Amino acid sequence: MTPVIQTRKLSKWYGNILGLSEVSLEIGPGITGLLGPNGAGKSTLMKLLTGQLKPSLGRVLLAGEGVWNNPALFRRIGYCPEHDSFYEDTTGRQFLDGLLRLHGFGAAEAARRTESALRLVEIWGDENRLIRGYSRGMRQRLKVAQALAHDPEILILDEPLNGLDPLGKRKIIRLIKELKAGNRTILVSSHVLPEVEALTRDIRLLHQGKIIAAGDIHDIRDLIDAHPHVVALRCDRPRKLAARLMEEPHVLKVHFGPDGLLTLETDNRDLFFGGLPALVVELDLEIEEITSPDDNLQAVFDYLVGK
Amino acid sequence: MRAAWRAAVFFFGLGRRAKRTKVFFALGLVPVLLSLLFRMRHALSIAPRGFSGEFFYSNVILPFYVQFLVLMLALFFGTSVVLEEVEGRTLAYLLTRPLSRPAAVLGKFAASAGHALAVLNIGLFGSFLILKIERAGDPSAWLSVARDSAVLDLSLLCYLSLFTLMGTFVKRAIFFGLLFCFGWENVIAFFPGLTQKLAIAHYVKSLIPQPPGQTFSFLRLMLEPSPPLFAVLILAGLTVVFLAAAGLVFSQKEYVTEN
């Protein structure tokens, strides 16, 4: 398979600050998730892939061509920026129509594509309202619409699910999955693991400017599962619960905190949460709070980089 | 050129709705209002004796354009060509279209020039009509205002291209632009020898006729004017050079938005 998106030892510095370090990627058709906490270098990578930034070192190739100062290539690329920025005094329709005209489409074709894209992201009906009056979700969907209105082969979407409500997220996820058809190459970034998981199994993990894992999300999850998870519980009888939990083979450690707070470590998070409701019923406990202090992407990355 | 034309059409549409354009259209009507006020005073016979419409046009309206409005239009429209996209974080939409970077700059420059020239000429011709209505049937009067318009248009394009260039690489371009307009351009005119020719204003003022025998004029040159053809060539040449440099800088420079 010839990679559609290819980077070789790609590095980017902002003065003394390292944005990206020797990133080598090969991405083919289908959906690929780029996962990383805020500040990991996802947006830097995406800006390098779309020719907005020049590499400090290394190369970027899209469909076999260099991307910096190669405007013709943008007929084949759609890009959804991370920033919530627009030409605010235009309507959704004018915005999209104008951008399509920049692609060289004639008036009739631009109008047809504008309507089609706005219908796809469910903004048609509000197309003549000023963008400054759009909700966050509508603005996010409009950004996605401008990325796909010219029907590109390569879609680069920087945090397209940011700021959307659960229903909005579901719609965009469905849309991105539908776009996969037609042999498109779609790269989607996110800092939320379940969002990427809902989109694809093929992911790249980016941390502090470096790719630290690549491949099937389940393999990476297994890798993560090899490390203990921390769960904090607050209940009316923590000692009774602790005694019972220590009988479970997947519970490794239990620690008593103030105000009935119980912090425990488990090497099988799914098994722990699966069995917890039965345990609560069995012991007749009142659980006030359950949190996973390390159930976030940063903790996952900390595990992977061995912190 | 086609790509630049597409960009010009796109940005002309955006510019029509921009607050900046509306503010400058209002400012562009100031000379018209001043002319109306002058006319009213004249009609009521409270204008100073010998203070004719001709005199008011040459000594109030024209200096307002040359020394203020042209500079302000050029500064705010010119610096916004690139800076507006960078600061508004809309540059990504522009850079990810099949549009070369110089074409994008040239297109937006053309759109900005369209708006600025409209502001300038509506006010100028409006003032002319109000102040010289008696000479509306005289072709030489029209020729005279057409010449003034051409000089102001050329100077506007020259300054606009300079500030477009400045906006491609200077973050606080408006501040430095103001220093240039009201510092350098004014101070340098009083320098002896060839130094005065380092100001764009020198060539603009060289193209504005000095009324013979008039002892007072805001637009009078402190030293020797340059020949008109030479002044036109310099202004046109500078416009081309500044624009080419803006295109070059924009095509090589990367714009990093701060997170």
What residues does each domain of chain A span? 5-216, 227-304
Dist. CA B236–CA B92, nearest whole Å: 32
- CB within 8 Å of chain B, chain A residues 157-186: none
Q: What is the pLDDT along chain B (259 residues), one digit of tens a residue?
A: 788 999 999 999 898 888 899 999 999 999 999 988 888 877 777 666 667 777 888 888 888 999 899 999 999 999 999 999 999 999 999 999 999 999 999 999 999 999 999 999 999 999 988 888 777 788 888 898 899 999 999 999 999 999 999 999 998 999 999 999 999 988 887 777 788 889 999 899 889 876 555 544 555 555 678 899 999 999 999 999 999 999 999 999 999 876 5
Antiparallel, parallel or unpaired: β A287-291 and A229-235:
antiparallel
> Are A179 and A148 contacting, i.e. CB atoms less than 8 angstroms apart?
yes
With tokens 């159930």, the residue in question is A295
What token pair was written down for A70? Answer: 């190669």
Q: Which among A135, A180, A176 is positioned nearest to A157, based on CA atoms?
A: A176
| B207 Cα to chain A: minimum distance (Å) | 39
Q: Kindly state whether A234 is in contact with chain B, defined as any CB-CB distance less than 8 angstroms.
A: no
pLDDT in tens, B195-251: 888 999 989 988 987 655 554 455 555 567 889 999 999 999 999 999 999 999 999
With CA atoms as reference, report the closest residue to A74 among A153, A134, A143.
Answer: A153
Among B53, B45, B23, B165, smallest CA distance to B106 is for B165
Spatial CA neighbour of A200 closest among A161, A163, A168: A161
Residue A129, chain B, CB below 8 Å: the answer is no
CATH of domain A227-304: 3.30.70.100
**Across the A/B interface, how many CB contacts are shorter than 8 Å?**
83
- Total residue count of chain A as it appears in this document: 307
Q: Choose among A107, A98, A113: nearest CA to B10.
A: A98
pLDDT digits 0-9 by tens, B40-51? 877 777 666 667
Whole-number Å distance between alpha carbons of B173 and B178? 8
Residues from chain A contacting residue B10 (CB–CB below 8 Å):
98-99, 101-102
Write phi, then psi, for A40 (nearest 5 degrees). Answer: -75, -20
Q: Which CATH code, of 3.40.640.10, 3.40.50.300, 3.40.50.980, 3.40.190.10, is assigned to A5-216?
A: 3.40.50.300
Strands A17-27 and A5-14: antiparallel
Q: Who's near B150: CB < 8 A, 6+ residues apart?
A: none
